[in-house]
Amino acid sequence: MSQDFPSEGALLGIDFGTKRVGIAISTPDQSISSPLETLQRSQPAQESKIFCKICKEYRIKGLVIGLPVHMSGDEGEKAKMARKFGDWLSKISELPVIYWDERFTTSLAQHHLREFGISKAKQKSRLDMLAAQVMLQSFLDAPDRFAAPSAIDN
């Protein structure tokens, strides 16, 4: 898997959720991630159109899917759902996927939003895409993205 994952080109970071999906994007040199949007979950056909449009528009080369693992590192039901979603997204976009430990990303994103004085009402709309940004930046900053203990792939 790691040999097939691109080391150049923009990556899409996904913070999977059953109600919302946070989306972040990296620079083409894979050094900086930025929040892109929060997608309200809908029908798979509609989501497929949206993701394919984003992947084409931003010339995405790979997908980094946040994997919600337990503190022990074990995968539960949410991780299985995230893997299923990531596999589906990889298939429809025809892009390689890697799964990345997303522990603490939401709490770190919440901390940043509070620190910047964002109102509670606005925090909810920005939280998922900021969590995706934090997760994607963690992947980008990892010294060895494919051997790091938090890198979990198929």
> Model pTM?
0.82
pLDDT digits (tens, 9 = 90+) for 48-94: 999 999 999 999 999 999 988 766 667 778 889 999 999 999 999 99
pLDDT digits (tens, 9 = 90+) for 95-141: 999 999 886 656 555 555 567 666 666 556 677 888 899 999 989 99
Percentage of the chain surpassing pLDDT 90? 56
Q: What is the b/e burial string over 35-67, where b = at least 16 CB atoms within 10 angstroms of the residue's CB? A: bbbbbeeeeeeebeeebeebbeebebbbbbbbb
3-state secondary structure of 56: helix
Structure token pair of residue 101: 């430990």
| pLDDT at 6 > cutoff 50 | yes
Identify the H or E element spanning 51.
Answer: helix 44-57
Answer whether 40's CB lies under 8 Å from 34's CB.
Answer: no
- Structure confidence at residue 108 (pLDDT): 56
Q: Residue 97 gets which letter from DSSP? A: E
Token readout for 103 is 């522990």
101 contacts 140 by C-beta, under 8 angstroms = no
